[in-house]
Amino acid sequence: MSGPFCFGVDPHEDAQIGTMEAGGLKRGLAWTGVVRWVGQLISWSSTLVLVRVLSPEDYGIVGIAAALAGWIGVVAELGLGSSILTATELTTPKLRELNTAALLAGLVAATILACLAFPAARVFDAPAVSGVLLIFAVGISMDSLRIVPSALLSRKLEYKRLASIDLAKSISQTCVVLTLALMGLGYWSLAIGQLVGASIATALSIRSAPIGVSFKSTKTRGPEFSRARMFLVGAVSWQTFRNADVWMLARAVGTAEVGAFNLARNLVSMPTDKIVTIITSVIPGYLVSARDDKPRLKRLFLTLSEVVFLVAVIPLVGLMLTADLAVPFLFGGKWMTAVTPIRFMCISTMIWASSMFAGHVANLEGGLRHTTLAGIIAAACSIPLYFFAARGFGGSGAAAAGIVIVAIVAYPNVKHALRTCNATWFEYARSAALALKASVGMTIAIAAVRLSLGPTLGDSAVFLLCVIVGIAVCALFIWQSESEQIRVLRQAIERKLKIR
């Protein structure tokens, strides 16, 4: 298997993977990547407008509500999506049972969230949170309707359809949010926009994979539900330590700093979330098929790890180096409190991105219980750690504490992934070598630009110059890499451009 997504793969072993699988994998990645990046560009463009229209308090109110709704939403999902994806066999009656369970769980979760709306507003001393939570409760019930259809589409490798649904959701949500924000509706625009996007995605998912329900046959027994419960525990643990920082920060400092903290998280996660999500939305089906072929599974794991390192580490290092220039340039001076949290979040996001794909591999064979236990430990540690960090150092302290929490979860994921595919820590580290070399070169180049030209040019000009220089240096490192797959890609580009 060769091509731009196959760094580090031995070209002499291509035949073992198969032409059809390689072609399907690359087509899935390419189509998903193009469509989702179109949606992401639309979302980024709207964000640059919204941050100048909305206040940090608006983002803080929605951020507090989203943290609680996200936790309840994971409980409502019941781990069914992951269970369907990894199940060995699924019949139509069983899918209807799972779909019915998802629907009922969504309705229960929506009711619970609605009941928590007013108590949560009092706890966080933010009355506006209650109305946003009521809207999110409706959104949870909508989301539950597409859990099984979306998982089934992913299981069937229908990535083109999934990406199209994601794009429709992004466009509709962006249009609604922008329109309402410009009308002066503040935080309501963000809440209503998310509800509209979820509704459209649900309608398209059901249309693409109609399943139906069967209340008479609904059971919570069988291997699918057993694995679902394990996935659920892990997901709840993840959401707990993922959102505990916002909960503790809201209690300690209020909605304005929560808004800046959430903006920092969104900026850091923008590129990596979409890129890593593109990969992890396409890969699981191929991992399941390679479960019993260790050499093939190892190649897939190391290849995709190198891709994730390249697309996650390099831009995050660049953002760390230029955060004090990027925030005022992109969002304006009122968001400067987000600069230090951004730098800490870049570190934790690198750790998360490098281990997210490993989690999929670890869960194939014996790692699910261990990674779930790590998530439980991280969740238990996160609340006191975030509490004291937020009270003492605000958003910067919470972001720094996140590095420790994410590392607790990342280590067992990578450890068990390596064991599952018979790879070593050295081989895993080697997959990060190119990204690290490019990052070091970029750091030196950006430092030189800032030290030599910073005093003479304005901040905006220095930021743009740093971006250009950083991209050029990284591209040079990657282009001159000795990787066999980079060489194949380079030759293909040269042929296209007729360079000799």
Q: Which two tokens stand for residue 364?
A: 């194939």
| 14 or 165: which leads in pLDDT | 165
The answer to whether residue 50 sits within a structural domain is yes
Neighbours of 205 (CB within 10 A): 24
Q: What is the pLDDT of residue 444?
A: 94
Q: Which residues constitute the domain of residue 165?
A: 11-431
User: In this structure, are residues 100 and 219 in contact, taking their beta carbons and an 8 Å threshold?
Assistant: no
Q: What is the pLDDT of residue 500?
A: 45
Q: What is the pLDDT of residues 255-301, one digit of tens each?
A: 778 888 888 888 888 766 666 666 655 565 566 666 667 787 788 78
Q: Is 84 helix (H, G, I), strand (E, B) or coil?
A: helix
The answer to whether residue 484 sits within a structural domain is no
Q: What is the pLDDT of residues 439-481, one digit of tens each?
A: 999 999 999 998 888 677 788 899 999 999 999 998 888 887 7
The answer to whether residue 455 sits within a structural domain is no
Cα distances (angstroms) measured from residue 99 to each of 89, 149, 213, 357, 492: 16, 8, 6, 27, 46
Residue 435 burial (CB < 10 Å; 0-12/13-18/19+)? buried
* Structural domains counted in the chain: 1
- Supply the pTM of this predicted model: 0.72
DSSP states of 189-205? HHHHHHHHHHHHHHHHH
Beta strands in 14-101 (DSSP E): none
Q: Which two tokens stand for residue 388?
A: 């004291």
Q: What is the pLDDT of residues 133-152, one digit of tens each?
A: 999 998 888 888 887 787 77
Cα separation of 449 and 437, whole Å? 19
Q: Which two tokens stand for residue 496?
A: 């296209």
What is the rounded average pLDDT for all residues in the chain? 77
User: In this structure, are residues 230 and 245 in contact, taking their beta carbons and an 8 Å threshold?
Assistant: no
Average pLDDT score over residue span 24-30: 54
Q: What is the pLDDT of residues 110-126, one digit of tens each?
A: 898 899 889 988 888 88
Q: Is 220 helix (H, G, I), strand (E, B) or coil?
A: coil
The answer to whether residue 443 sits within a structural domain is no
User: In this structure, are residues 31 and 163 in contact, taking their beta carbons and an 8 Å threshold?
Assistant: yes
Of the pLDDT bands very low, low, confident and very high (cuts 50, 70, 90), residue 188 is very high
* Helix, strand, coil abundance in the chain, percent, nearest 5: 85, 0, 15
The answer to whether residue 481 sits within a structural domain is no
The answer to whether residue 483 sits within a structural domain is no
Residue 364 has pLDDT above 90, yes or no: no
Q: Region of 247 please: left (phi>0), alpha (psi -120 to 50) or beta.
A: alpha
SS3 track for 359-377: HHHHCCCCCHHHHHHHHHH
User: In this structure, are residues 427 and 301 in contact, taking their beta carbons and an 8 Å threshold?
Assistant: no
User: In this structure, are residues 67 and 247 in contact, taking their beta carbons and an 8 Å threshold?
Assistant: yes
Average pLDDT score over residue span 37-47: 74
The answer to whether residue 34 sits within a structural domain is yes
Q: Which of 174, 105, 156, 95 is nearest to 281 (CA)?
A: 156
Q: What is the pLDDT of residue 227?
A: 56
Cα separation of 92 and 102, whole Å? 15
CA 31 from centre of chain: 18
| Sole residue written with tokens 């909305």 | 54
Cα separation of 394 and 396, whole Å? 6
The answer to whether residue 472 sits within a structural domain is no
